[in-house]
Chains A and B, each alone.
Chain A
């Protein structure tokens, strides 16, 4: 995820294989030192504690939020929205790129749309979404679909186009054509590109959904983590705001390093396709 320290994410996945453990430990050490420094600065009371709370009270707030079940519920809400949105985006992207592969006219249309809409930050369509669909989870889901669809479609489509010709012909030789050829041969062959697209889409969608809930309170009362940050800031519960941020970071790290990495480990790496 691009909003996270890249180096850290890279080394955690390497550290798992045991070759870069010292570096990984060094980075954890650095983060601990940072937290310690933060704590000391906060204790000096240079800035009001209300705005710059010490790490201990942030962690304390995290613990109470968890024990009261609030933050877990919000997290669950955010994750279920994003899971719904990403699944829909995957489905739509697959259909769009498969149709574009089968019908050149549709490919032109798709590429034109992509050229126009891909550069548009997803959050920029939120005002229109709110007018059309009102506030609520469905607006957020549509936003997630929109933000994930373009990068995902771009990578699936280019992945499908660069599938080795011999594999496609081997499939045709076996009697596959049309959507069945795309499904049985081209899509698995394009899996490395699909995975890369999924990583980007996840990051975009996650950013967009948190931002949307926060900026407009778009989700209404029953919101996710973005909404949590928004409402805690409103009541000036700053340690809780930081606690919410920690949860967002933790989810990012988890999805990036455990979910995607193990998904890749069990698929494209296992099949020797990851060099593509």
Chain B
């Protein structure tokens, strides 16, 4: 595949003002994503991962700098960038599983016939393995199934980039692992570009080609390229070396106290919560 530049962050800075305080969520973030790549944004809690993704989705406007999408400046939300939120309440509860997907399709592809849209919707539900649940309502689904529907709905629109903000963050470890490998299969099948936010080093390493490590304060701490052959083997010594490397990068600097919030993420977030091992490399 010819690698075309698709998403470009140029010195993106985002400053929030909350009352009298100003919070720098992103600070001069630059990187370039090529078509079909799988990018992961990783960083401690509060390092601006969500903000980065929301800026790319067009829900937030950068304070300075710009984001280009296929060469065009991002000015608002668009169907070329579909977001899958962490929130399990992102589906429309008054529509069935199929209805959620067809609704998105009817907005994205009004030129298609109703019949064709139904077919497309079913194809996308098959992609996430939910074709048998088409007529259920969201409240009748488990958390993992809801996230699959959200992925199907986003993919149905045929976006150029799929944005995912810890979509599996509120799921149990087993469901999470299953969905990760399904996402990889879907990514390989659809060749969609993915920008994925996670807390979890392993999740980042299994999936991505490139990893953006954000530090607290919203600076890019490191850009790590992951060239390990796919499918990634957890027992590969290179995998664990890369894991160690990322873990050191994510270690909190000694003078910044680690907030307890990362512990609340459950056992999957372990890599970040683990006590420091080896020599500390402060940013």
Whether B85 and A169, one on each chain, are in contact in the complex, defined by CB atoms closer than 8 angstroms, is yes
A167 beta carbon closer than 8 Å to chain B: yes
Binds A, one of B62-70, B89-97, B273-281: B89-97
> Which residue of chain B is the closest to A187 with respect to CB atoms?
B94
Within 8 A of B (CB), among A155-202: 164, 166-167, 169-170, 172-176, 184-185, 188-189, 191
> Which residue of chain A is the closest to B78 with respect to CB atoms?
A175
Binds B, one of A3-11, A72-80, A265-273: A265-273
Chain A interface bracket (under 10, 10 to 19, 20 to 34, 35 or more): 20 to 34
A23 CA to B77 CA in the complex, in Å?
55
B104 beta carbon closer than 8 Å to chain A: yes
Proximity string of chain B (233-245) to chain A, C-beta cutoff 8 Å, 1 when within and 0 when not: 0000000000000
Choice from A164, A169, A174, A271 contacting B94 with Cβ under 8 Å: A271
Interface residues of A (CB under 8 A from B): 164, 166-167, 169-170, 172-176, 184-185, 188-189, 191, 267, 270-273
B48 beta carbon closer than 8 Å to chain A: no
The residue in B91, B92, B103, B157 that gathers the most chain A C-beta atoms within 10 A of its C-beta is B92
Binds A, one of B7-15, B111-119, B136-144, B185-193: B136-144
Whether A175 and B89, one on each chain, are in contact in the complex, defined by CB atoms closer than 8 angstroms, is no
Whether B137 and A272, one on each chain, are in contact in the complex, defined by CB atoms closer than 8 angstroms, is yes
A176 CA to B81 CA in the complex, in Å?
14
A188 CA to B83 CA in the complex, in Å?
21
Decide: A172 near B77, CB < 8 A? Known: A164-B87, A272-B139: yes
Proximity string of chain B (40-82) to chain A, C-beta cutoff 8 Å, 1 when within and 0 when not: 0000000000000000010100000000000000000111011
A43 CA to B82 CA in the complex, in Å?
76
B107 beta carbon closer than 8 Å to chain A: yes
Whether A273 and B94, one on each chain, are in contact in the complex, defined by CB atoms closer than 8 angstroms, is yes
A259 CA to B78 CA in the complex, in Å?
41
